[in-house]
A and B are shown apart, each in its own frame.
Chain A
Amino acid sequence: MTAHPSPHHSSHQGTTGALPGKYLTFTLSKESYGIPVLKVREIIRLCPITPVANMPEHVKGVINLRGKVIPLVDLRSKFCLPISADTERNCIVVTQIAAAAGGTRLYGVIVDGVEEVANFTAADIEPTPDFGGAFDSMFITGMAKSGTGVKTLIDLDKISAFDGTIAIQAPGLPSASHAS
């Protein structure tokens, strides 16, 4: 009868706006983004990445997180941002997101630098404005005003849900079940 004891991952699902609370903010190129801190499992340095062939551009491959093989994506290429050479500040934010089969899975995100953990109240958060079709804002849950500027709050669950579907699949081959 024990359900998965991590209710926090679902707290944002199905809601249109971001909830107030603590967010980890980080930079991608020159822009600032935030994700709920409850989804962050840990932050690690860049490590050797094993590329996986025939995956979308932003899926960088897999890494070894203490024995677990976890996927790594580069949100900069997902959001079509310029990618600069790796520096000391570059790191991987390991997040915990909803798995399709229920429960959670780990998901690594390359960022240009981690800023801080900020507390956003309901008053700080504004709904996503309409950018007038300039780009698809479906991954954005809201905009948070903080002392130093505006952070874009994003929904990793939604982003990751679209990773797999873009994968190139050899025609005619039913996708066999992979090693468990």
Chain B
Amino acid sequence: MSTERFEIIGKAKKVIQQIGLELAFVDSVNENGIDGINDLVRQLEAILGGEEPEQIRAGMDAVRQWIDERVAIDNKLSSVCITRLGDWQPWIDAAVMSWEYQLSYPTFPEGWKTPEVPPPAPVGNGAAAVGPGGQSSQAGPVPRPAARTVELLPEQTVDVVPPDSDLEMLQLFCAEAQDLLQDIEQGVLVLEVNPTDSSSLDSLFRAFHTFKGNVGVMKLMVLQQLAHELESMLDAARRGNYQLGSDSITVILAGSDILKRFVTELSNQIAGVDAGRTIDLPIPQLIHDVHSLLAGGSKAPAAQPPAAVKPMPAAPQAPSAPAVAAAVEADFAAIFHAPAPSPEAEPARSEPALAAPAAVAAAPVAKKQATNQQSAAPAVGSGIVRVDTVKLDGLIDLVGELVIAQSMVVQNPELKAITSAHLSRCLGQLRGITSDLQRTAMSLRMVPIRNTFQKMSRLVRDLALQQGKEIALSLEGEDTELDRNIVEELSDPLVHMIRNSADHGIEMPEARVAAGKPAAGTITLRAFHQGGFIVIQIEDDGRGLSAAKIRKKAIERGIIKADENLDEREIFDLIFAAGFSTAEKVTDLSGRGVGMDVVRRNIEKMRGKIEISSIEGEGTTFTLYVPLTLAIIEGLLVGIGEERYVIPTLSVRESFRPLPGMVTQVQGRGEVVSVRGRLTPILRLGRHLNTPHTALDPTQGIIVVVEAGQDSRCLLVDQLIGKQEVVIKSLGEMFRHQTEFAGAAILGDGRVGLILDINALVKLKSRTNGEAA
């Protein structure tokens, strides 16, 4: 039961973080924002599945009510709703955390239950942001379905391909899209035979959903709209609210054909064929069909769908959808810097009101993309092969084995006895090739951190705009490569920390000028290698941390005692304590004290660590140390009796052999040792792990001081064996309940060594410690 709960909580937290990310990118103009949030909230509801305590349920009910309300009114987010969601996300995050740790729940704001008063002038909102687009007057709150497609399209032409999208991203997009489309086609074929097959429905729904997300990232709103409509139809079918018939399957196929045509065309254009040519897609027709199908249920006349299918082959000659053509074309003119519009584009161009604003907005982007294209041109031919990660991991495992087998051969005593220049040359060559092979295998999982960094530039831009600050983001070392998993895991902590820097670090322009600094603040995001780790720094030139203020706050919050003696580093570390916040006013972005502790948890989960340095008035630097890959760690090999254990080097502070008198007994059972003036409890590992051990007295063994977060503990082991890089392997589900080990590793002699879970050992409750010592 309890593991189930933690599973739910774990999944819920992920979705809540996604909601937070989604919220950061929402503004009141963006009518598509609500779909993303609605989807995530729906996911969250599904995950919780009624298992949640009533406090959380109240929060979920509230958000459901707001969203349903917005959907019913105009399917857009209002500023009231955004503010509420902004408050809600950290609230639910805190509530879920309370659930996890059985703490008291945050109070439920009473105001949340009342329905939102519709904002007086949603029309004004839309028009103001659309600016030059004369069409925007149409974008008012037109009641519903039939009008909706008409209403949405004109505004979409304003969307511009974001300047940070590059060819590489487009290529990845195409590769992934092709896979998704294949999934879609397979799923549809199954559905044709058995329209209620729930696993195909699910996979189809997921495929469209992912596709929607991808085109959303590329800012192709028209396609996103299409994917969204198909997705909602499948969602209805999945929930049993709608029965898929042959007509709806035809529509889905037609939709996937449209997407496929787009992707094929796009990859052709990336490869340089007909770059800049318009891609005409009969999307409004299809969306209309979906709507009429959904409205009429499964009994909808089959007359409509063929109409959607038919125009497609003929589309280039007679575009059935000038508005869409204009939108898609404008986007891609921007990307591919079309030398001359092709004749097919003419009908679309003749809609000046639509195409003009887009073209203007796109112009600065076009140049940049053109240079991008040139520099990336030689790479186009190389192509991308997508490989199942299971296969990849298998390969990496095997290579790891090969390296071990190789070292066993090279170090074989009988072989060593042979003195032959030829043999040693051959062995040397073997060693060279295996280590090359290992490096290549490892590099297969490596991706540059560029994409993650570039996402941050978008975030900084939005944050600066929202808060009226001037912030420049400078990126360094974007080509640094990391394990794919790590890059994924890093994204959320980085978002938190960048927000933190933008929100708390950088001052308002006036304050900066008054302090003699340039009005525009700078956040530097940098990545580099250092001693087997990847170091990521987030540096701002803002107001810096005030040790005195932090101290005062921590005492107020009861995190430390008033008379506690802490050095500066320890005081800075306090901002990672749960429930700490230095922001004087709580903004909707950060400052609720959830955040930095989560950041630290996430970083530690991937066996990294985080450090802060700051000079008051000059700025703050957060430094993250993360391993190159999740698969390999550098470990300190220690011996206890016959067994060997691995302690991750990153958590080892020091090791020494204690002298008599350094160890003090407490009540005859506990032991403490004074490490640099600090009394640190000793944990006798041999006893704790019930392993025969030789160091019966601390002075016969070695003390390894390990730290996790702010806590440290002395582990007593028999001997130090050495340092070694090990490939981490899971212990498997049989050992999922044990808390001592983080995994296992194959050691040089082929035996299995267990990797100690330092976090668990350091935070071990006193009861167990008393037993062990």
Contact = CB atoms under 8 A, between A and B. Distances in A.
Interface of A: 1, 48, 50-55, 59, 61-64, 66-71, 99-101, 105, 107, 160, 163-165, 167-180
A164 B730 contact: no
A68 B739 contact: no
B100 to A, nearest CB: 7
A169 B768 CA distance: 11
Interface string B202-225: 010000000000000000000000
A47 to B, nearest CB: 9
Given A67-B398, A164-B735, A179-B728, 16 more contacts: A50-B753, A50-B754, A51-B691, A53-B689, A59-B734, A68-B397, A69-B729, A99-B733, A164-B734, A167-B735, A175-B6, A175-B739, A178-B730, A178-B742, A179-B630, A179-B729
Contacts of A71: 731-732, 734-735
Given A1-B203, A69-B746, A174 B100 contact: yes
A160 B734 CA distance: 8
Q: Which of A61, A101, A167, A178 has the most CB of B within 10 A?
A: A178
30 contacts: A1-B183, A48-B751, A50-B753, A52-B735, A52-B738, A52-B754, A54-B690, A55-B735, A62-B754, A63-B752, A64-B746, A64-B752, A67-B400, A67-B401, A67-B746, A69-B729, A69-B730, A69-B732, A69-B752, A101-B733, A163-B734, A164-B734, A165-B737, A170-B768, A171-B765, A175-B6, A175-B737, A178-B730, A178-B742, A178-B757
Nearest to B100: A174
The A interface is mostly helix, strand or loop, or mixed, namely loop
B751 A170 contact: no
Contacts of A168: 738
Given A64-B746, A67-B398, A180 B630 contact: yes
Contacts of A52: 731, 735, 738, 741, 754
A107 B735 CA distance: 12
Q: Which of B734, B739, B763 has the most CB of A within 10 A?
A: B734
B201 to A, nearest CB: 13
Contacts of B765: 170-173
Nearest to A62: B752
A167 to B, nearest CB: 4
A105 B764 CA distance: 31
B98 interface: no
Given A175-B3, A179-B755, A105 B733 contact: yes
A42 B404 CA distance: 22
Nearest to A170: B739
B391 to A, nearest CB: 13
Interface string B364-407: 00000000000000000000000000000000011011001000
Interface in B26-47: none
Contacts of B6: 174-175
Contacts of A61: 752
Contacts of B186: 1
A1 B187 contact: yes
A167 B630 CA distance: 27
Interface of B: 2-3, 6, 10, 100, 183, 186-187, 190, 200, 203, 397-398, 400-401, 404, 605, 630, 643, 688-691, 728-744, 746, 750-755, 757, 759-760, 763-765, 767-768
A51 B748 CA distance: 18
Contact of B751 (A1, A50, A70, A175): A50
Nearest to A48: B751
Nearest to B729: A69
Nearest to B740: A53
B401 A164 contact: no
B737 A179 contact: no
B630 A169 contact: no
A1 B206 CA distance: 13
Contacts of A105: 732-733
Contact of A178 (B3, B743, B746): B743
Contacts of A48: 750-751
Given A52-B754, A180-B730, A170 B744 contact: no
Closest 4 CB pairs of A and B: A179-B743, A53-B689, A67-B401, A50-B752
Given A53-B689, A53-B691, A100-B733, A173 B760 contact: yes
A171 B767 contact: yes
Nearest to B746: A64
A165 B737 CA distance: 8
Q: Which of A66, A100, A168 has the most CB of B within 10 A?
A: A66
Nearest to B735: A52
Nearest to B404: A67
Nearest to B5: A174
B754 A170 contact: no
Nearest to A166: B737
A50 B744 contact: yes
A64 B759 contact: no
A70 B689 CA distance: 20
Given A105-B733, A167-B738, A169-B738, A66 B401 contact: yes
A71 B736 CA distance: 12
Contacts of B630: 179-180
Contacts of B740: 53-54
A50 B746 contact: no
A69 B646 CA distance: 15
B760 to A, nearest CB: 7
Contacts of A63: 752
Contacts of B751: 48, 50, 64
A169 B737 contact: yes
A51 B741 CA distance: 12
Q: Which of B398, B731, B752, B768 has the most CB of A within 10 A?
A: B752
Contacts of B759: 176
Contact of A173 (B690, B731, B739): B739
Contacts of A170: 739, 760, 764-765, 768
A67 B397 contact: yes
A164 B734 CA distance: 5
A64 B183 contact: no
A107 B560 CA distance: 48
